[in-house]
Amino acid sequence: MLNENLMESLLTGDNLRAAYKRVKANKGSPGVDGMTVDAFAGHAQKHWPTVVEKLKTGAYRPGVIRGVSIPKPQGGERRLGIPNVQDRVIQQAVAQVLSPIFEPEFSRIAPAEASLDRLKDQVRSQWNAQESIALEDRIKRWQDYNLGWWNYFSICQQRRGIKMLEGWIRRHMRKYANTSGNAGIIGAAD
């Protein structure tokens, strides 16, 4: 279903403009770099060709995610991970290209909230384990509990795009794993 033109579809001017408009409409907070959505337009004019080239060659790496804790209405705190604006625009552009392709295939597959809670609990338990284990080994330990990302993308032959998505997914999983209450940086660029 997907072919060599996936990255080109992602990087069309129309898709990127629509992604920026969507991100701007969300009015999110700045990421670690402190850049606002409004300031991004000027930054993009100057730096976007370099970003596009990095995306095309597979050299692009998402930035660090800023961790923020917000209070829950019932008490306690909820952790949020805020990517920088550039990453949000790219993520939105990816979603705009992939959603029409994958939604018909997976719209009937909606994981129960309990399943997602079990996944988060498994990630936390592996992440907070007291034994000294490498990140890769921890990830392998809870792969049985994941939601099947590789299966979702098995119809896609674009390994480069999958690597980019995998990096974003791992950063967001770190958000669920960090239960220490530290509202600082919770992901690091690879």
How far is the CA of 65 from the CAs of 1, 50, 72, 116, 190, in angstroms?
32, 21, 21, 21, 12
What 8-state DSSP symbol labels residue 142? T
Per-residue pLDDT at 173: 61
Following DSSP, what letter does each residue of 8-22 receive, concatenated? HHHT-HHHHHHHHHH
- What percent of the chain lies above the pLDDT cut of 70? 53
For the chain, which residues make up each domain, given as ranges? 6-111+147-177
Give the three-state DSSP class for 52. helix
Q: Indicate if the pLDDT at residue 116 is higher than 80.
A: no
Res. 41: pLDDT tops 80? yes
**Does 184 have pLDDT greater than 80?**
no
Residue 1 scores a pLDDT above 50: no
Backbone angles phi, psi at 78, to 5 degrees: -120, 130
Q: Give the per-residue pLDDT at 85.
A: 95
**pTM for this entry:** 0.60
Mean pLDDT of the chain: 74
Say which residues have a Cβ less than 8 Å from residue 60's Cβ, sequence separation at least 6. 51, 54, 90, 164
Confidence band of 135 (pLDDT split at 50, 70, 90)? low
Measured over the CA atoms of residue 165, residue 168, residue 170 and residue 176, the dihedral's sign is: negative
More confident residue, 125 or 66: 66
Does the pLDDT of residue 37 top 90, yes or no?
A: yes
Q: How far apart are CA 100 and CA 72, in angstroms?
A: 33
Write the pLDDT tens digit of every residue in 103-115.
766 655 555 556 6
